[in-house]
Amino acid sequence: MARRICIAGNWKMNKTREEAVALVSELKEKVGHIQATDTDVVVCPPFTALWGVSEALAGTAIGVGAQNIHWEESGAFTGEISADMLTEIPVQYAIIGHSERRQYFNESDDTVNKRLNAALKAGLTPIVCVGETLEQRESGDTETVVDRQLSGGLAGISAKQMESVILAYEPVWAIGTGRTATPQQAQEVHAFIRRKVADSVGDVSQRVRILYGGSVKPGNASELLAQPDLDGALVGGASLKADDFLGIIEAATA
């Protein structure tokens, strides 16, 4: 089954509003041709740049995403951002459960699940991240860890809701390290994730997109994306430079 490729840039805590608008203006100019292809392109700047980026990209095919979302609609949650605040901008996507959130900000499978429900309720497309640490991989626990993250994070999500969910497999040891999973390593886990999704929601699993993330670059994107269960990439470092990000988009559309 052909799934639409999605290339999403996770800018993390990088770029002021001005720098962000400059970067998307360059992207906008150069990816005009992707409108006609089968690839979704998304950028996820920090919250402070979302308005500027969204305005700069209005009327283009490039989507905008947030890097996190809180599950409550409003209230005394200092420092948090709700779904309504994002859809107002407008933002179409939200990254949920990134390993840096899990590692540094106590994100758990339970909070991932709450954020996911809030995103779906607001009509945002969630990009839910899972992935094992090096220690977990080396002790042979990759599938156990990913399985636990999927069962907890996706708990109670119906088949219909699952159609709007994007998953991202991001081995923690490959993030920002320059150490990419081999296409075979990535494919194995992606196929495992799809089987797990099939166990809980059936055939819809064939339509769910699973992105790979972890040191994706223009030079390794084609090989990775040639794998049958890799439906795109969640790109950190290489999404901060227009030429690198464009190189990955080109590899995906070639």
190 is catalytic: no
Number of residues that bind ligand PGA (CB under 6 A): 13
Q: Does 66 bind ligand PGA (CB under 6 A)?
A: no
The DSSP H or E segment spanning 93 is strand 93-96
Q: How far apart are CA 199 and CA 221, in angstroms?
A: 29
CA angle (174, 118, 168) in 5-degree steps: 20
Prior bond of 218 cis (ω within 30°): no
> Please, are residues 80 and 111 in contact by the beta-carbon 8 Å criterion?
no
Closest distance between ligand PGA and the C-beta of residue 223, in Å? 15
Q: Which of residues 130-189 bind ligand PGA (CB under 6 A)?
A: 170, 175-176
Nearer to ligand PGA among residue 67 and residue 113 (C-beta): 67
Q: Does 97 bind ligand PGA (CB under 6 A)?
A: no
Task: Kindly tell me the sign of the dihedral angle through the C-alpha atoms of 42, 47, 52, 55.
Answer: positive
Task: Kindly tell me the sign of the dihedral angle through the C-alpha atoms of 177, 81, 43, 13.
Answer: negative
Closest distance between ligand PGA and the C-beta of residue 95, in Å? 8
Nearer to ligand PGA among residue 126 and residue 213 (C-beta): 213
Phi first, then psi, for residue 117 (nearest 5°) are -60, -40
Nearer to ligand PGA among residue 142 and residue 215 (C-beta): 215
Amino acid at 35: Q
170 is catalytic: yes
Q: Does 215 bind ligand PGA (CB under 6 A)?
A: yes
Nearer to ligand PGA among residue 63 and residue 236 (C-beta): 236
Q: Which two tokens stand for residue 54?
A: 């969204």
Q: How far apart are CA 198 and CA 183, in angstroms?
A: 22
Catalytic residue among 70, 98, 100, 250: 98
Q: 3-state class of 3 per DSSP?
A: coil
Q: Does 237 bind ligand PGA (CB under 6 A)?
A: yes
Q: Does 9 bind ligand PGA (CB under 6 A)?
A: no
Which residue lies nearest ligand PGA, judged by its C-beta? 236
Q: How far apart are CA 145 and CA 152, in angstroms?
A: 11
Which residue among 5, 6, 7, 10 contacts ligand PGA (CB under 6 A)? 10
> Please, are residues 17 and 49 in contact by the beta-carbon 8 Å criterion?
yes
Segment interacting with ligand PGA (CB under 6 A) among 76-84, 130-138, 186-194, 207-215? 207-215
Which residue among 46, 65, 126, 214 contacts ligand PGA (CB under 6 A)? 214
Q: Which residues would be at the binding site for ligand PGA (CB under 6 A)? A: 10, 170, 175-176, 213-216, 234-238
| Residues carrying an active site annotation | 98, 170
